[in-house]
Amino acid sequence: MMVVMPLTRSEATARAAIIDVHSYEVHLDVTAAGETFGSRAVVRFGARPGSSTFLEFEPVVVSSMTLNGSPVPSLSVSGGRLTLADLAEENELVVEATMRYSNDGEGLHRYTDPADGNVYLYQHLFINNGGRVLPCFDQPDLKASWQVSVSAPADWKVATNGELVSSSAGEWRFAATKPISTYLASLFAGPFHAVTDSHDGIPLALYVRAALAEHLDRQAEELFTITKQCLDRYHEMFEIRYPFGHYQQAFAPEFNFGAMEYPGLVVFRDEMIYRSAVTDSQRESRANVIAHEMAHMWFGDLVTMAWWDDLWLNESFAEYLGTRVAGEATRFTGTWTTFAMQRKAWGLRADQHPSTHPVAPVEVRDTEQALLNFDGISYAKGAATLKQLVAFVGDEAFLAGLNEHFTAHAYGNATLADLLGALAKASGRDLSGWAEVWLRRAQVNTLRLELSPARVEQTAPADYPTLRPHKIGIGLYDRGADGTVVRRSLLPVEVEAAAVTAVPALDAEPAADLVVLNDGDLTYAKIRLDDASTAAVSTVLPLISDSLARAVLWAATLDAVVDGERPVAELVTLVLTALPVESEVVIVEDVLRATRSLVDRYSTPETRPAALELVAQAADRLLAVSEPGGSRQLAAARGLIGATNQSGRLRGWLDGEGVPDGLAIDADLRWLILYRLVVLDAAGTAEIDEEFARDRSATGAQWAARCRAAVPTPDAKAAAWQAIVSDVSLSNRLVEMTASGFWHPEQLDLLAPYVPRYFAEMPAMMRVRGGMSAERTAGYAYPELAVGAETRRLAAELLSREDLDPILRRVVQDADDDMRRAVEARF
Ligand SMILES: [Zn+2]
């Protein structure tokens, strides 16, 4: 892998001051089999006469290169950059080169489907990979029109941002796009299957690998319905109509993100085209992603951040609007429950790590740091902050401000200051103080309710002493004579940016059985209930009908365990009583997942088996009362499979014996069962090979890799480890699946040698894999289950190295901080 310098903010600023890019005309030749493809680019740009500049460019071989008709010496290309001197006022750079395909999800990713041998390509230039496909000015504020043509095998199809102009005999030509940033240029190619439709004058299309054609055909109606509902809702909210012509959605193999918002051609990971039964919360999550990417058409694509320090302008808004629009426009009305339960926990975790940063950092140094900021803070905390902003200024002013912002900066770039200006104007309020504490300061407040007299106590971590104003609701719940629980009232409360805010309205109310602080989940904070309410949670929570209130209570309970304030055993007891009556699937799934993770890391080797057995019992009880064939049944079955030690029962399910009524033991559930059997040493390599022979699909290959990494023998672990740290022929997804299958609490004795090996060998792994794939692999491979002082000592030793890769530094620092909490809670 070529070592490429990240682009710094100051380089980008200097380049934007002298360069004005007009257009990229790019022709890609992907007809030949092999590891490379042809790229011919014509870049037209204005410049300050006589100045010098550079383009990102990582060719294998350059065949010709001219600037304004004169040859450019090949020595001008080095370190991933093409340097040009003595520019004219108007310039035309023409370059023909051979480029390399990738298998790490960045650049032009090439994938061979194990199901049928078909080859697929997709282009992902984000965050600084433009140079892996063509020479380009790879920064968000140098927008240009793209005109793409492609030579491809005759049986292929090709899609790009631009609309198709012509295709014949493997030659594909596309119309020029509106001005877009380089990181948004997209392409999907291969013998893919397409389904088309249209809505409100907008042509719609869905694309997927041929092997998934039948599944897409069955799901197309749901996907189109959600797409149309979201388009309509955005058109109600925004004055500017969808600005990029057609709306194509491609589902691509081994995609690094959940999805990416390329204008006119959104790309999703193709796990979202389901081939086995899924829960309704998975379908909700897919609807949410559709709405999220669509929000980016305005926030990100039409108006783009000037530099990556305003990444949050993209992601926080897309997360907020996606959650909101999916909830308002589609059948998935509970999206804010999911957000409270799942997404905010992600934000809270990231925000309390040593690597925390403000939602809107004042300065992001370079593209490498920018990549690291794609975390729970930029997405979930930012979105939660926007929800609080809407509570603060009102919805009408919020939407008016957004519309003003879009109109002022359409097809251009904008900053936080621009957006705040528009919102301040629309709301008539000065938002600078609010923005300072909410957007410019890192970390999170804890809000704690105390009674007699009623007050909200607010604290902040010592290193981040900022207190914030919070607009919240406080819900009062009473147990009725008939055993039900009702919310008597929801008090609106403005918590001041102070240590104590009195709540006289609560004192004026008769005592309630349970008081829910932040009911409605309007603010972003760690929530702690008063003592009486905390004691009442286990009996009252299951009876509350509002799923959002239950999510707030579950989230606060889990957070207190994470912080070591409450023992994991108490959580397990609550799960055992409350989960079997939980009706919201996302809560079932998330509570099982989070509890499982806490049991694995917070209980000792002595207490863990019993705790895990109780988690399995909770899932089993839920399974027994779930409606056959429903989402809850599937969620319960998955939870049981992941926690149980009853290998005989699981084997029976594989053979069709004792399977709960309505539960489909389909391809993915078979793999999940086999995976657990392998972990328990009740199945091995022969069974994995047999299952893969039965399911020779892309997903089958991924599951097989994960299962092989889980086999509890020294040879299997050695092979998996070698694949993780040094096998560069493995694609991003296969190495991630291998790493995610490696560690198990049941196998810690066998895995002991890999604790020091992680710290010794990960720096080398970082040098051979691409940015995002390397970050994921380092995260999955971390020995987080080897909780103890020795692991922490090894982490500290690695962190003391000055030459440590910054991505690995961040992964280790944050994982070690999680372990610190576990150690403190445990001993
Ligand atoms: Zn996004």
| Distance from residue 292's CA to the centre of ligand 1 (Å) | 6
465 Cβ contact list (under 8 Å, min separation 6) = none
Q: What pLDDT score was predicted for residue 827?
A: 53
Largest CA distance in the chain: 89
Instruction: Count how many Cα atoms sit within 13 Å of the Cα of residue 428 in the half-sphere of its side chain.
Output: 2
Exposure class string for 425-458: b at 16+ Cβ within 10 A, else e: ebbeeebeebbeebbebbbbbebbbeeeebbbeb
| Distance from residue 311's CA to the centre of ligand 1 (Å) | 10
Q: Which two tokens stand for residue 455?
A: 């007050």
Which position has the token pair 């990181």?
183
Handedness of CA 190, 699, 623, 746 (dihedral sign): negative
Handedness of CA 608, 613, 616, 618 (dihedral sign): negative
Distance CA 793, CA 798 (A): 9
User: Which residues have their alpha-adjacent CB atom under 5 A from ion ligand 1?
Assistant: 315, 318
Q: What pLDDT score was predicted for residue 373?
A: 87
| Distance from residue 356's CA to the centre of ligand 1 (Å) | 20
**Which residues on adjacent β-strands are paired with residue 28?**
39, 150
**Which residues on adjacent β-strands are paired with residue 120?**
111
| Cβ-based neighbour number of residue 605 at 10 Å | 10
Q: What pLDDT score was predicted for residue 483?
A: 82
| Distance from residue 261's CA to the centre of ligand 1 (Å) | 7
**Which residues on adjacent β-strands are paired with residue 151?**
29, 171
Distance CA 370, CA 368 (A): 5
541: left (phi over 0), alpha (psi -120 to 50) or beta: alpha
Distance CA 514, CA 532 (A): 7
Q: Which pLDDT tens digit goes with each residue over 122-175?
A: 999 999 999 999 999 999 999 999 999 999 999 999 999 999 999 999 999 999
| Distance from residue 418's CA to the centre of ligand 1 (Å) | 20
Q: Are 2 and 80 in contact (CB under 8 A)?
A: yes
678 Cβ contact list (under 8 Å, min separation 6) = 684, 687, 688, 707, 710, 711, 712
Q: Which helix (H) or strand (E) holds 432?
A: helix 432-439
| Distance from residue 395's CA to the centre of ligand 1 (Å) | 22
CA dist 809 → 33, 256, 601, 736, 759 (Å): 38, 21, 22, 19, 11
Q: Which two tokens stand for residue 87?
A: 């520019």
| Distance from residue 257's CA to the centre of ligand 1 (Å) | 9
Q: Which strands sit side by side in the sheet containing 526-528, from one edge to the other?
A: 500-502, 455-459, 446-450, 526-528
| Distance from residue 736's CA to the centre of ligand 1 (Å) | 21
Q: What pLDDT score was predicted for residue 313?
A: 85
| Distance from residue 641's CA to the centre of ligand 1 (Å) | 33
Q: Which two tokens stand for residue 101?
A: 């395909």
| Distance from residue 140's CA to the centre of ligand 1 (Å) | 15
**Which residues on adjacent β-strands are paired with residue 456?**
449, 501
Low-confidence ranges of the chain (pLDDT < 50): 1
Q: Which two tokens stand for residue 507?
A: 């004192």
Which residue type is seen at 651? Answer: R
Q: Which pLDDT tens digit goes with each residue over 804-827?
A: 999 999 999 999 999 999 999 985
Q: Are 579 and 592 in contact (CB under 8 A)?
A: yes
Residue 693, judged by CB atoms within 10 A of its CB (0-12, 13-18, 19+), counts as exposed
Handedness of CA 754, 760, 762, 768 (dihedral sign): negative
Q: Are 810 and 772 in contact (CB under 8 A)?
A: no
Q: Which pLDDT tens digit goes with each residue over 359-376?
A: 999 889 999 889 888 899
Q: What pLDDT score was predicted for residue 3?
A: 59
| Distance from residue 295's CA to the centre of ligand 1 (Å) | 8
Distance CA 406, CA 360 (A): 19
What's the distance, CA 547 to chain centroid? 24
| Cβ-based neighbour number of residue 155 at 10 Å | 9
Q: Which two tokens stand for residue 4?
A: 């490429």
Q: Which pLDDT tens digit goes with each residue over 529-583?
A: 999 999 999 999 999 999 999 999 999 999 999 999 999 999 999 999 999 999 9
CA-wise closest residue to 518 among 596, 570, 591, 456: 456
CA dist 70 → 19, 57, 67, 349, 652 (Å): 20, 19, 5, 55, 73
Handedness of CA 146, 149, 152, 154 (dihedral sign): positive
Distance CA 238, CA 226 (A): 18
Q: What pLDDT score was predicted for residue 500?
A: 98
Q: Which helix (H) or strand (E) holds 637?
A: helix 631-643
| Cβ-based neighbour number of residue 483 at 10 Å | 7
Q: Which helix (H) or strand (E) holds 22?
A: strand 19-29
Q: What pLDDT score was predicted for residue 28?
A: 98
pTM listed for this prediction: 0.97
What are the residue numbers of the active site? 293
Distance CA 730, CA 110 (A): 12
**Which residues on adjacent β-strands are paired with residue 67?**
70, 93
Q: What pLDDT score was predicted for residue 374?
A: 87
